[in-house]
Each structure stands twice: as structure tokens, then as C-alpha cells.
């Protein structure tokens, strides 16, 4: 599909409660965690938008913008809607947003390219990646046509990405990835220790 119609979106607005501090700002082998995903996706889109609710550091690029959630406490779905609202407010021409978490250091652009290459946009308005038996609900492609329904359902109290996605008929793109798991995400300091070991083993 045409990448010119897609806005890349990194969701970094979570509270990182299990980690104890903003994990997007944690350093892994001397590099900010958020910069791992940015490095892989920024070159694939004309623009990438970070959703973050406080000032953060990230790699410098004229392709990156940053904005806050339009309303606190709505979770990842609120971040998705924020990105859609940003597109409309800025009069951008994007028809889709491609979302990524800020805490997955092993995700590579080859997985992104595979995902987008295997989407048939005539078949749906929302697509998620499934690796082996696990569906990854933050790695998604969302049509801006969903904006009105998403806002309505958020106002009614919906917060769960999986439930909402199923309700509108999300389509799945299956991918079989080698180790290290590109969808490994860092929620705790123990996860960070695991990531350090994985990187060390990769460099041997």
C-alpha cells in the first residue's frame, strides 16, 4: 500500500506504572528505549507522531512531531484517537495511521514492511499483527474512517483495545518471526535486564 497515505504513530503516553518511571526514557545499552522503535519506523513514513503526556527526549528528525493525548486516562485507544484528531486539525492528507509502542527495542523495519505489504485495504479498516499465537494490538494499521466510532465508544467508556477491535472486525496479518522476538516489550526492570542480555548475546 502507499506509505504516503500513512502517518506513523508511536504511543508513549502510558504511565509506566510497573516500571516505576517513564520507560520510553530508560536507556538500553546507552540508547533511549523510544529511539529503538523510532529508528526503525521514521524512514518508512513521511511523518511520525509521538503521543506523550510530558516532555521527553528522542532522536532528532524533521520527520518527527510530538503531541499530548487530547484527554488523560483513555489508554492506547485515546492515543489512537489523538493521532486521528491531529491529522484532521493539521489538515493532513493521511488516510491511515500505523501505531507502535515505545517499549519494543527488537522490532525491525522488515517486520513493518511485511505487515504493510500483506494488507488488503479493501478488506477492512483495522489490521493487527499476529506472531505465531499472539496478537499484538498496539502494532496496528487504523483507517481514519474509524475516528467517529472510536470517539463515540470512548465516550461510552470503552478502554480495551482488544474488545473494541474485535467489535469492528479487525483483520489479522500473520507473521512468523525469528528470535529475538521483535514484539518483546519492556514493562518491568526485569524485562530491561532480559533485553540487555539479548543484546549482549546478539553481539557475540
Residue 172 has, within 13 A of its CA and on its CB side, a CA count of: 13
pLDDT of residue 63: 97
Q: What is the DSSP letter of 181?
A: P
Confirm if 82 and 151 have CB atoms less than 8 A apart: no
Per-residue pLDDT of 173-201, as tens digits, reads 999 987 889 999 999 989 999 999 998 88
- Domain ranges (residues) in the chain: 3-202
Residues of the chain with pLDDT under 50: 204
d(CA 158, CA 115): 27
d(CA 136, CA 203): 27
pLDDT of residue 204: 38
DSSP run (H or E) holding 189: helix 189-202
Task: Say which CATH architecture domain 3-202 belongs to.
Answer: Alpha-Beta Complex (3.90)
pLDDT of residue 33: 96
pLDDT of residue 80: 98
Nearest to 120 by CA among 84, 46, 172: 172
pLDDT of residue 149: 98
Amino acid at each position: 500500500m502507499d506509505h504516503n497515505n500513512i502517518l506513523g504513530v508511536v504511543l508513549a503516553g502510558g504511565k509506566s506504572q510497573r516500571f516505576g518511571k517513564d520507560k520510553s526514557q530508560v536507556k538500553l545499552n546507552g540508547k533511549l528505549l523510544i529511539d529503538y522503535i523510532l529508528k526503525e519506523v521514521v524512514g518508512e513514513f513521511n511523518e511520525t507522531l509521538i503521543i506523550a503526556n510530558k516532555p521527553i527526549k528522542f532522536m532528532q528528525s524533521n520527520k518527527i512531531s510530538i503531541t499530548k493525548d487530547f484527554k488523560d486516562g483513555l489508554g492506547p485507544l485515546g492515543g489512537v484517537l489523538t493521532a486521528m484528531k491531529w491529522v484532521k486539525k493539521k489538515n493532513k492528507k493521511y488516510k491511515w495511521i500505523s501505531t507502535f509502542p515505545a517499549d519494543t527495542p527488537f522490532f525491525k523495519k522488515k517486520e513493518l514492511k511485511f505487515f504493510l505489504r500483506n494488507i488488503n485495504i479493501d478488506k477492512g479498516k483495522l489490521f493487527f499483527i499476529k506472531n505465531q499465537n499472539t496478537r499484538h494490538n498496539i502494532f496496528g494499521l487504523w483507517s481514519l474512517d474509524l475516528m467517529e466510532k472510536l470517539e463515540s465508544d470512548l465516550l461510552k467508556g470503552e478502554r480495551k483495545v482488544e474488545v473494541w477491535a474485535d467489535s469492528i472486525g479487525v483483520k489479522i496479518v500473520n507473521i512468523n518471526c525469528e528470535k529475538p522476538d521483535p514484539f518483546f516489550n519492556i514493562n518491568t526492570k526485569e524485562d530491561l535486564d532480559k533485553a540487555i542480555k539479548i543484546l549482549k548475546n546478539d553481539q557475540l
